[in-house]
């Protein structure tokens, strides 16, 4: 991830990493958070969101993002099966300086399956240090 707000360019794409929908984790998640869902339907939407959240948190842990102020336009396109590898990416859609010390970055986040098909997407607004 970029070192500071001023290093970020509109249109820039950042890799968020990869994760696997692991069968034991899928079963445990369904038991705990998705009663009535069955593993043969793939990962439930809430688990997909949790997997994206983990990738995003790991990717931004050592960057200049100060705070996430919004997650909007959530969209689920498919429910990947156990064993599927998911890849995250962030595309910068806009940015706006807010004073001398910080700026807002608007980005689209996508989670793609092994075939490159969209699994999940959302828009975020985050505060970055300048």
Confidence of residue 48 (pLDDT cuts 50, 70, 90): very high
Q: What is the pLDDT of residues 80-90, one digit of tens each?
A: 999 999 999 99
CB 123 within 8 A of CB 106: yes
Reported as half-sphere exposure (CB side, CA atoms, 13 A), residue 122 has a value of 18
Q: Exposed (0-12), middle (13-18) or buried (19+): which is 117, by Cβ within 10 Å?
A: exposed
* Res 130 pLDDT > 70: yes
CB 16 within 8 A of CB 55: yes
Q: For domain 5-129, which architecture applies? A: Roll (3.10)
DSSP, collapsed to helix, strand or coil, labels residue 41 as: helix
Please calculate the CA angle 89-34-117 and round it to the nearest 5 degrees: 30
Residues 19-33 have a mean pLDDT of 98
């Amino acid at each position: 991830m970029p070192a500071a707000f001023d290093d970020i360019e509109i249109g820039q794409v950042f890799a968020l990493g990869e994760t696997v929908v692991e069968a034991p984790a899928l079963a445990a998640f369904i038991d705990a958070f998705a009663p009535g869902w069955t593993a043969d339907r793939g990962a439930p939407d809430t688990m997909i969101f949790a997997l994206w959240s983990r990738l995003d948190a790991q990717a931004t842990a050592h960057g200049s993002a100060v705070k996430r102020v919004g997650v909007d336009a959530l969209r689920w396109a498919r429910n990947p099966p156990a064993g599927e590898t998911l890849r995250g990416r962030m595309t910068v859609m806009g940015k706006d300086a807010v004073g001398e010390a910080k700026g807002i970055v608007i980005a689209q986040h996508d989670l793609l399956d092994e075939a490159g098909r969209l699994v999940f997407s959302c828009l975020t607004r985050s505060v970055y240090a300048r």
